[in-house]
Chain A
């Protein structure tokens, strides 16, 4: 009992996932998202064709793969921003496949976007307040009578201020969101998503376009989410980030899940190497050093380095 309490959430999750088979579509001990036979076609092209996928509750799961692998499309489908040609999935035991994006968010699964959608011509505070739930003043008629919603507005403002402080945006409170830097907008978008008090956070390339100085703090925030008990699913290109913070990695290529496994070993998987090599010219392993001519050598070096690190960790 006591020993378990002492373990970091990361270690605990690693232990939970230890027994999970390293193959596409493997069952998780405590899955929050379960998807079956999800397909999405655009014209003649099949963008997503996922037979079975489970996402572990409370873990950080990374979704990686080369350009055009269907990661973002799968994300859009799961969050209700796109409609599948076939397939169904459940979230926390509740079927979700027919719900609108708004209802998905209200069910507790909230997302961010690859191209940040900060509401530029609203202040940072307004952005945050917009994320809050249960504000009766968002209804047409009650909105005309401030006494009906002023109290809740105060609570929302407090909640927002707390989050802004945590994300170090409190000094920007009254600035227009459009005046923030790219990284600050990413932070704002994440903070705004947290205003909805979600159980699962879906991050679409949280690192894209973020200044390196902010990367560390973003990584920290993502890990904090998990430590608070939230499930995190994110699409990412940056392999370093994947390795550092994720508990489980799902690799997609040409619309299908080709491999799954813990970050420490996933890059040794032949299917993964094939997937990236198959698309090696526009490979988006993210790290620019991996974009050199000799991708195979690079990947091998990566694998070795990982192995080494694993030994260190152990």
Chain B
């Protein structure tokens, strides 16, 4: 076993674009669930909207800013369509409808009848939509090494993408921190606790929930874009497992905390990478690489169960705030 290589791989995950993408999606989910109590089980659907919106707009010659706006607009429309029927219903309806809507979106973009637009089952190859983003790169051509980490400056899985991805995460953290401390965040918190009480005080609960749903969806869309930029857009990679991963990340780091999503994402991906690499390198080939992959997802599932049962506040959450239960 090559421990050095494994450890370098693990350390690389700390600032990988995918880790940033998941952190962004978890920041969005934190606005939904942590701040407002909305059970959104379709965060992958928002990421899918962002990814496909961005890629398709770019392929049609839109500049980067317009393509990003298109991806975000797609997610916002998705949120409004989901929110209208469900935000006035009980929480578990929202869970079922969001997961169903995310699956509808996935079935739709992977349908072979839309191959000319979405690439169908095969998706959209990276080179078809990465160009304009890479052209914005202010770094010189070539690649650059930081210690053992060597990446291209501008192409695919690049330093440029890392800078943008983590820059967005930083902006997200600042905004959420602001919102949580503001009267707006207070109303959301009230809705999370008991929406009827907030309604009885004259607040338009439906409107606030819609704002939260759209806002969290926008972060999901940005996460989706960062998620696909290192490689390609593929509908099946934007399915339910992705949503469940984002949930695990949020609950691991701590829902309703500012840094929870980021910490959760970094922790989950480094640990997973460690387990996967170790299993794959086991002498004698006990595990095939797909088995190692499957095993690591089993662990994610078990982690999610144990977290919710034994430590619902996650790593950063306030135990008192989580455990107090008035009813």
Hey, which bits of chain A sit against chain B, CB under 8 A?
A: 79, 81, 100-103, 105-106, 110-113, 115, 117-122, 126, 129-131, 133, 135, 137-140, 143-144, 146, 149, 153, 176-179, 185, 189, 192-193, 195-196
B5 proximal to A (CB < 8 A): no
Shortest beta-carbon distance from B88 to chain A in Å: 10
| Closest chain B residue to A115, Cβ basis | B327
Q: Are A79 and B325 in contact (CB under 8 A)?
A: no
Contacting A122 at CB < 8 Å: which of B193, B196, B199, B215?
Answer: B193
B133 proximal to A (CB < 8 A): no
Shortest beta-carbon distance from A233 to chain B in Å: 14
Shortest beta-carbon distance from A180 to chain B in Å: 9
Instruction: Given A122-B193, A133-B202, check contact A138 B183 (CB 8 Å).
Output: yes
Which B168-210 residues have C-beta < 8 A from chain A? Answer: 175, 178-179, 182-187, 189-190, 193-194, 196-205
Shortest beta-carbon distance from B293 to chain A in Å: 38
Instruction: Given A121-B321, A121-B324, A179-B324, check contact A105 B190 (CB 8 Å).
Output: no
Instruction: Given A120-B326, A144-B175, A178-B325, check contact A129 B183 (CB 8 Å).
Output: yes
Q: Are A117 and B183 in contact (CB under 8 A)?
A: no
Which B281-305 residues have C-beta < 8 A from chain A? Answer: none
Cross-chain pair count, CB within 8 angstroms: 111
Instruction: Given A119-B197, A144-B182, check contact A102 B190 (CB 8 Å).
Output: no
Residues of B within 8 A of A121 (CB): 189, 193, 321-322, 324, 326
Q: Are A113 and B182 in contact (CB under 8 A)?
A: no
9 A-B pairs with the lowest CB-CB distances in the bound complex, closest first: A120-B326, A105-B202, A143-B184, A143-B182, A137-B183, A117-B197, A119-B193, A178-B324, A178-B326
Residues of A within 8 A of B194 (CB): 117, 119
Q: Are B200 and A117 in contact (CB under 8 A)?
A: yes
Alpha-carbon distance A108/B179, docked complex (angstroms): 28
Residues of A within 8 A of B86 (CB): none
18 contacts between A and B (CB under 8 A): A102-B199, A102-B204, A105-B201, A117-B196, A119-B189, A120-B325, A121-B193, A122-B186, A122-B190, A122-B193, A129-B186, A130-B186, A130-B203, A143-B178, A143-B179, A144-B179, A176-B320, A176-B324
Residues of A within 8 A of B197 (CB): 113, 117-119, 189
B211 proximal to A (CB < 8 A): yes
Instruction: Given A117-B196, A119-B190, A120-B325, check contact A192 B201 (CB 8 Å).
Output: yes
Q: Are A105 and B199 in contact (CB under 8 A)?
A: yes
Residues of A within 8 A of B215 (CB): 140
Interface SS majority for chain B: helix
Contacting A118 at CB < 8 Å: which of B182, B203, B326?
Answer: B326
Alpha-carbon distance A176/B189, docked complex (angstroms): 13
Alpha-carbon distance A137/B203, docked complex (angstroms): 13
Alpha-carbon distance A119/B211, docked complex (angstroms): 21
Residues of A within 8 A of B325 (CB): 120, 178
1/0 per residue, CB under 8 A from A, across B308-327: the answer is: 00000000000011101111
Beyond A113-B197, A122-B189, A138-B184: 9 further Cβ-contacts under 8 Å? Answer: A110-B202, A117-B194, A121-B326, A122-B186, A122-B190, A129-B186, A143-B185, A144-B175, A178-B324
Residues of A within 8 A of B326 (CB): 118, 120-121, 177-178, 185
Contacting B193 at CB < 8 Å: which of A101, A120, A135, A139?
Answer: A120
Alpha-carbon distance A118/B179, docked complex (angstroms): 22
1/0 per residue, CB under 8 A from A, across B144-182: the answer is: 000000000000000000000000000000010011001
Shortest beta-carbon distance from A184 to chain B in Å: 12
| Closest chain B residue to A130, Cβ basis | B190
Alpha-carbon distance A79/B193, docked complex (angstroms): 20
Alpha-carbon distance A149/B199, docked complex (angstroms): 22
Shortest beta-carbon distance from A236 to chain B in Å: 19
Q: Are B202 and A102 in contact (CB under 8 A)?
A: yes
Max chain A Cβ within 10 angstroms of own Cβ: one of B175, B183, B185, B324: B183
Alpha-carbon distance A236/B324, docked complex (angstroms): 29
Q: Are A143 and B324 in contact (CB under 8 A)?
A: no
Shortest beta-carbon distance from B99 to chain A in Å: 26
Residues of B within 8 A of A120 (CB): 193, 324-327
Q: Are A101 and B200 in contact (CB under 8 A)?
A: yes
Q: Are A143 and B183 in contact (CB under 8 A)?
A: yes
Contacting A193 at CB < 8 Å: which of B175, B179, B201?
Answer: B201
Contacting B211 at CB < 8 Å: which of A140, A176, A196?
Answer: A140
Which B196-231 residues have C-beta < 8 A from chain A? Answer: 196-205, 211, 215
Max chain B Cβ within 10 angstroms of own Cβ: one of A111, A138, A176: A138
Instruction: Given A119-B190, A121-B321, A122-B193, check contact A196 B185 (CB 8 Å).
Output: no
Shortest beta-carbon distance from A241 to chain B in Å: 22
Shortest beta-carbon distance from A118 to chain B in Å: 6
Shortest beta-carbon distance from B194 to chain A in Å: 5
Instruction: Given A140-B184, A178-B325, check contact A102 B203 (CB 8 Å).
Output: yes
Instruction: Given A138-B183, A143-B182, A178-B326, check contact A105 B193 (CB 8 Å).
Output: no
Residues of B within 8 A of A192 (CB): 201
| Closest chain A residue to B187, Cβ basis | A138
Residues of A within 8 A of B199 (CB): 81, 100-102, 105
Shortest beta-carbon distance from A111 to chain B in Å: 5
Alpha-carbon distance A111/B199, docked complex (angstroms): 10
Alpha-carbon distance A149/B181, docked complex (angstroms): 12
Shortest beta-carbon distance from B261 to chain A in Å: 19
